[in-house]
Amino acid sequence: MANAYRDENSVPTLIAALNTDGITPTRVFANPSTHSLKVNDGTTGSDHGVANAVRDQNNVPVLLAVSSADGVTPVEVYVDSSGNLLIDSA
pLDDT-derived band at 25 (thresholds 50, 70, 90) equals very high
Reported as a single tens digit per residue, the pLDDT across 27-57 is: 999 999 999 999 999 876 688 877 789 999 9
How high is the pLDDT of residue 43?
A: 73
Q: Under a CB-based contact definition with an 8 Å cutoff, are residues 41 and 89 in contact?
A: yes
Q: 0.75 cut: is pTM over it?
A: yes
Q: How many helices (H) and strands (E) does the chain have?
A: 0, 7
